[in-house]
Amino acid sequence: MRILLNGALGRMGRCFADCALAQDGVQIAAGVDSAAIAQEQPFPVYADLLDLPLGADVLVDFSSPVGAKQALLWCADAGLPCVICTTGLDAAAARTMDFCTQRIPVFSSANLSLGAALMTELCRVAAAALGPGFEVDILEQHHRAKADAPSGTALALAAAAAAAGHGKICGEADCPLPRPEGTVVLHALRAGTAVGEHEVRFSGRDEILRISHTVASREVFARGALAAARFLICQKPGLYQMKDLIK
């Protein structure tokens, strides 16, 4: 499998490259990064997507919301499957993704961890079983440099709880007091070097249920992206997520 890597010199890009290059049958054909520098890399790195060579099997994006949008359009034009690992995508990027999925297979997930994907399903089941009589809080912490808050995983967890019968989703600062029944409240902390911690807390009368997930290394996301790339190159045009990979 030959991979093009967008955002090759970022923290996750470097982690993904190390993980990919350690796998048999996997090759990083080339990378792209706006901060491309003239230092030796195990594969060529270009400053612009337009300079990337063709002939790869899939593009994996660990760049930025703007970079992800550009990668989607480039892949749609090249007919190349695209794995979007960037979070914090806006409505414009979502519309671009919808357009591109008509031409190519696209994989996009708020979290590429198998454990986080299962956590979302557990959250959905618990919310439906407990009902709006239990308040739902989504608590998450990431390293201080993470640019978006709340995280994409936290938003996915909140959406899962809301879809199962709970009501409005709001941030901690925006939640009215006294708290309305069924409200899902998001709490985000950006501090230290935490890779990713998420907890869903269901608080009822005289009891609390907690579902939590902690990532200790960025390699979890790199391995998930590799699995997504292998899965995607065999798919038809459309949008695919972790639930599809799990199946």
**How far is it, in rounded angstroms, from Cα 9 to Cα 209?**
40
Which alpha helices (H) appear in the chain, and where do they start and end?
Answer: 11-21, 65-78, 91-100, 114-130, 152-163, 219-232, 242-246
Question: Is 187 one of the catalytic residues?
Answer: no
Residue partners of 126: CB distance under 8 A and separation at least 6: 200, 202, 209, 211
Sorted by sequence, the CB contacts under 8 Å of residue 121 that are 6+ apart come out as 160, 243
Q: Which of 69, 143, 146, 198 is catalytic?
A: 146
Tokens of 152: 């994409």
Task: Select which of 142, 166, 187, 198 is catalytic.
Answer: 142
Region of residue 173 (phi > 0: left; psi between -120 and 50: alpha; otherwise: beta): alpha
Q: Any idea what the Cα angle at residue 239 is, between residues 69 and 52, rounded to 5°?
A: 40
Determine the Cα angle at 58 with ends 109 and 84, to 5°.
20
Q: Establish whether 146 is a catalytic residue.
A: yes
Which are the catalytic amino acids? 142, 146
